[in-house]
Amino acid sequence: MKRAWCVCGFLSLWLVLGRSEDFMVGDSLFSYVQSEAVDAAPASPPEPLMVPLTLIQGADSKGAVCLDGTLPGYHWHRGSGLGANSWLIQLDGGGWCNNIRTCVYRKNSRRGSSKFMEKELAFTGILSNKSEENPDFFNWNRVKVRYCDGASFSGDSRNDAAQLNFRGQRIWLAAMEHLMAKGMQNATQALLSGCSAGGLASILHCDEFRGLFPNKTKVKCLSDAGMFLDAVDVSGGRSLRNMYAGVVTLQEVQKNLPRTCTRRLDPTLCFFPQNLIANIKTPLFLVNSAYDVWQVQSSLAPQSADPHGSWTECRKNHALCNSSQIQFLQDFRNQMLDAVKIFSESKQNGLFINSCFAHCHSERQDTWFAKDSPLLQNKSVAKSVGDWYFDREVVKAIDCPYPCDKTCHNLVSK
């Protein structure tokens, strides 16, 4: 049965032909719709593995605490068989906070306090324990490190007046120390990955991660939807650069940014992956949508840059963009390709840049590895990442421009 993934727009069609699913990306609610042949009911997906939250006891003695001062945590499913000494660390994502107001708001949520974190998380996609869902990493030790600092695990400061702890770097170090003691020090293979703000964190910490292990350990990094660009928005300003400046200054991120970058650029610019990736020594794979929906909504065409609302409909749904708006988005794609050009020349690095309106492929089963997953060069994200990690093939896959890709699972904002 052929499945077509479409943008939301025809509610009556949803009710007759398909199903919709809502989920959060950062602070935005998105939907995707799966339309089905009317004579065939979709098969029920298997129940995902639920993995409990573990708090890192003693982390507070090192100052490694969430925004509100609670302990950080992670979810760990042990490896087995041939994967018993292989480790996959997935850094959680979920935006940033760039001023006292947004950080105070954040500390009263799972993004700033372990008090509000789910006690169990479903492990799907790259975290799945089923070989038919995650063929290369299903039996590894798979860990999801929760994100509760608001600066991609990289800040180190405190605001006493607001009782805010900006300790992302310490959380990163405490989590790695804890997991090394739990057996990761014996790893023969390791992969650091992350989605969105976690994808940025996997870039920022990639070489640090490599440094935890002896040279004989195979270590690589994966960034999913972490290539946030320093792009000009629809008003001619730089919305994301302005926001990042707040994050870097408030949380004193500059202390932990790569000196190969801060020696030549302003620290805010060194929070952008485009200014980091060419100097990372550890093999790195980038998975990204050339028309990343979070960047479209929050960097390219945020409401603050669109006071007259001319981008309102396009921002929510790419199918409603006019020709000049599509051209603006095509220019953004070109910036993405320019940003990875030098990086891609290294044989050890890998790419999967498709032309979808999406954000994050590795944690959702439908976009990681399924019968109708997005494809590039006839390979899913899971197959592409696996081929690269295990050196089965060189993977430098870049899609043709929108709207040529018919395998996308595009997202629209609610």
pLDDT digits (tens, 9 = 90+) for 284-309: 999 999 999 999 999 999 999 999 99
Share of residues in the chain with pLDDT > 90 (%): 88
Q: What is the C-alpha R_g of the chain?
A: 20
Burial of 398 (0-12, 13-18, 19+ CB in 10 A): middle
| pLDDT at residue 317, rounded to an integer | 96
Question: For residue 20, is pLDDT > 80?
Answer: no
Average of per-residue pLDDT across 59-65: 98
- The residue annotated as part of the active site, out of 156, 224, 292, 405, is 292
pLDDT at position 148 over 70: yes
Strand pairing of 350-354 and 284-289? Answer: parallel
Position 7 scores a pLDDT of: 35
User: Is a pLDDT exceeding 60 seen at residue 32?
Assistant: no
pTM of the predicted protein model: 0.91
Among 75, 359, 361, 409, the active-site one is 359
Q: How many Å apart are CA 116 and CA 208, to the nearest integer?
A: 29
pLDDT in tens, 39-50: 333 456 679 999
User: Quick one: CA dihedral 345, 351, 353, 354, positive or negative?
Assistant: positive
pLDDT in tens, 192-226: 999 999 999 999 999 999 999 999 999 999 999 99
User: Please, how many CA atoms are within 13 Å of residue 70, restricted to the half-sphere of its CB?
Assistant: 19
Mark whether 92 is an active-site residue: no
Tokens at residue 379, please? 């390979």
Give residue 414's pLDDT.
76
Per-residue pLDDT tens for 151-198? Answer: 999 999 999 999 999 999 999 999 999 999 999 999 999 999 999 999
- Scored b (16 or more CB within 10 A) or e, 113-146 reads bbeebeeebbbbbbbbbbeebbebbbbbbbbbbb
**405 catalytic per annotation:** no
How does residue 23 score in pLDDT terms, banded at 50, 70 and 90? Answer: very low
Burial (CB count within 10 angstroms: exposed 0-12, middle 13-18, buried 19+), residue 73: buried
d(CA 399, CA 375): 9
The helix or strand, by DSSP H or E, that contains position 385, with its residue range, turns out to be helix 381-389
- Catalytic annotation on 77? no
Angle at Cα 142 formed by Cα 219 and Cα 352, nearest 5°? Answer: 60
Q: Which among 113, 193, 196, 384 is annotated as catalytic?
A: 196
Give the sign of the dihedral formed by CA 28, CA 360, CA 123, CA 115.
negative
Task: Look at residue 30 and tell me whether its pLDDT is greater than 60.
Answer: no
Whether the predicted pLDDT of 11 surpasses 60: no
With DSSP H G I counted as helix, E B as strand and the rest as coil, what are the percentages for the chain, rounded to 5? Answer: 35, 20, 45
Bigger pLDDT: 271 or 10? 271
* pLDDT, position 413: 83
Residue with tokens 């007259």: 308
Task: Please check whether residue 116 is in contact with residue 110, taking contact to mean a CB–CB distance below 8 angstroms.
Answer: yes
Indicate if the pLDDT at residue 377 is higher than 80: yes
Q: Residue 33: what pLDDT?
A: 38
Q: Is the dihedral of CA 202, 204, 207, 209 positive or negative?
A: negative
